[in-house]
Amino acid sequence: MIVGDYSEDYEVMVPFQALSMLGFTVETVCPGKRKGETIRTAIHDFEGDQTYSEKPGHLFGLTASFASVSPEDHAGLYLAGGRACEYLRLDAQVLAIVRAFMTENRPVAAICHGAQLLTAADVVRGRRLTAYPAVEPEVTAAGAHFVATAPEQTVIDGNLATAPAWPGHPTLMRAFVSLIDPDILN
C-alpha cells in the first residue's frame, strides 16, 4: 500500500485493517520514510459543500521502508487516495512500482485520488476506471474511459479495481481481495 502525508484517513486505515484481518501481510510504505515512521492522514467528509471537507486525521505507522520495496515480492498493490497523491505522482520510484504491477497484470486497487498515480504512470490508456469526480479530466487525458458511478460502487477492468471514495470500501475491498485470491471470500 503506497501512502503519504495527507492520504485520506479511512482510505488507509480501513484497507489496512481489512486486509490484515483476512491474514494478508500489508506493507504500508511512503517515499522518503522508513518502517516505524508515521504519516499524517486527513479525514475527508461529504457534508453538502461543493467539495469534500478536510479535517486532521490520525498518525499512521508505516510497516515497511519504501527504499526496500520490491514489486515482485507482493501479491497486489493498493493506492490510497487523498492529497498525498498530488505529490506521490511526481516520484519516479512510485510510478515504476505502479507500472510494474500494471504491466505484469497483477492486482491493483485505487481509490479516490489514487487514480492520479495510475494516470501519471501512463498505464490506463484504453482502460475503464473510476475515481473521485474531480480526477475525471486526468483520467480522460490519460486515454482511459472514466466511469461515473455512485461513491459506493467499484469498477473492475481486468487486474484493476477502482472506487470513487471511501464509501466504496466494501465493494472495492471485495474486488481487490478476489483479484489476489479468488477463493478467500467464498
The residues that are catalytic are: 112-113
Give the other-Cβ count within 10 Å of 175's Cβ. Answer: 20
Nearest residue to 59 (alpha-carbon basis) of 78, 34, 74, 37 = 37
